[in-house]
Amino acid sequence: MSSAAWNLPKADNPRQRFESEKIHGEGEDGKFTQSWFPICLSSDVKTGEVKGYEFLGGRIVAFRGEDGIAQVLSAFCPHMGADLRTGNVMGNTLRCAFHHWKYDGDGRCVHTAIGDPPPPSARLYKFVSQEKFGLVWAFNGDKPHYDLPDFPVPMDQLTIRTVAIPGENPVDPWVQCANTPDIQHIKALHNIKFTQDDPEDIVWTDTSMLYSFAGIHTDGSSVHNVVGIYGTSLYYQATDYAGKWFGFMDAMGLPRPGAAINYMILAARNDMGTKDEIEAYLDFVFQLEIGVVSEDLHVMQSMKFRPGTLTKSDRTLGRFFEYMRKYPRAHPSQPFI
């Protein structure tokens, strides 16, 4: 070795990786973000049916009685712990398969087959739930502190198609949500050319963020997007694509810590053409969005996410990390599921 080589500056490995202030992962400290999470497609639970799902690292059931309302309850019967997914829907009650106790939509035991009075303490945890965009949603928390968004076109003027994406992503839903404020990745990974400066007029609330940008899609079409995040589980988009409007949302379920299930909600205006033309347009929008989503999935499925070294272009992402650090977390259903 020449003596000059001994004089080269030494390139030490960094001793410690720089990481910004911690953001809690889902399930850490036994808590989860207080958000609306999709549980299943509405069509998965028909009248008279009960289905079991994994949610927040536990088990729940969704059942639809003859009143047509989808109820979301903890899965384990308070009597001996049978999973109520093996039960039956009878009228507006859910009957446990084991000893035939019956539970109403509020999770109260209203009947025992043997004739003993229903114990008042025999209660299932009832999740606050709703159906919207062809999905059954449950809120993690006793009282929702925000609403799911609407598209800027009244629902009765829209055709909505909701599609469950098979499989799971090995990240928390909020990590997927962090894509939206990640302006660098929109330009680099998705190769969308902005025809404006980076958005500065971002509307932040404690439970949402929303901004718009204009650009050129990879296929050369002009796009104007309004994009945002609601809670920690919903990506929102309203787009003018080459002069035509569509709406898109990615709703993210949380079966357990470090896992996300994705549902794509597609919307087209009813006045844009015949029924067949609208369906064909939704096919096109699905292909367009699945193309974008696959570019993200390629990264999401193998990354080890951490909010690390940021640059100036990451200022919106940095603000989102702040949003996440302050986001309320709880787990009231924990003793039941």
- Dihedral over Cα of 168, 313, 25, 264: its sign: negative
What is the closest distance, in whole angstroms, from the C-beta atom of residue 115 to Fe ion in the complex?
58
Q: Which spans of this chain sit near ligand FES (rule: CB under 6 A)?
A: 77, 79-80, 82, 96, 98-99, 101
Give kind and range of the element (H or E) at residue 213.
strand 208-216
Neighbouring-strand partners of residue 111: 102
Q: Considering only 75-83, 94-102, 179-187, 282-290, which stretch makes contact with Fe ion by CB under 5 A?
A: 179-187
Tell me how far apart the terminal alpha carbons of the chain are, to the nearest angstrom. 66
Is the dihedral angle over the CA atoms 5, 7, 10, 11 positive or is it negative? negative
Q: For the chain, count helices (H), then strands (E).
A: 5, 20
Provide the minimum distance between the beta carbon of 263 and Fe ion in the complex, in angstroms, as a whole number.
16
Residues in contact with Fe ion, counted by CB under 5 A, come to a total of 2
CB of residue 235 vs Fe ion: minimum separation in angstroms? 9
**Interface with Fe ion, residue 179, by CB under 5 A:** yes
Whether 133 contacts 126, CB under 8 Å: no
**33 exposure class (CB count in 10 Å sphere: 0-12, 13-18, 19+):** buried
296 binds, among Fe ion, ligand FES, none (CB under 5 to 8 A by kind): Fe ion
**What's CA 276's distance to the chain center, in Å?**
30
Three-class SS of residue 179?
coil
Please choose, out of 28-36, 159-167, 289-297, 312-320, the segment that lies near Fe ion by the rule CB under 5 A. Answer: 289-297
Task: Indicate the residue among 49 and 296 with the shorter CB distance to Fe ion.
Answer: 296
Q: How far is the CB of 80 from ligand FES (least distance, A)?
A: 4
Residue 176 binding result from ligand FES, Fe ion, none, given CB thresholds of 5 to 8 Å by partner type: none
Please tell me whether residue 198 binds Fe ion under the rule CB under 5 A.
no
Q: Per-residue x/- marks for Fe ion, 240-279, CB under 5 A?
A: ----------------------------------------
Cβ-based nearer residue to ligand FES, 81 or 291: 81
Instruction: Please give the Cα distance from 86 to 93 (Å, whole number).
Output: 14
Instruction: Pick from 296, 318, 330, 334 the residue near Fe ion by CB under 5 A.
Output: 296
The helix or strand, by DSSP H or E, that contains position 252, with its residue range, turns out to be strand 244-253
146/286 with CB nearer Fe ion: 286
275 neighbors 46 (Cβ within 8 angstroms): no
| Least distance (Å) between residue 247 CB and ligand FES | 43
Which pair of tokens denotes residue 94?
A: 């859910």
DSSP annotation of 312 = G
99 binds, among Fe ion, ligand FES, none (CB under 5 to 8 A by kind): ligand FES
Q: Residue for token digits 């209203």? A: 110
Smallest distance from the beta carbon of 254 to Fe ion, in angstroms?
Answer: 19
DSSP, collapsed to helix, strand or coil, labels residue 76 as strand
Residue number, 85 or 319, with CB nearest to ligand FES: 85
Q: Name the residues that contact Fe ion, by CB under 5 A.
A: 179, 296
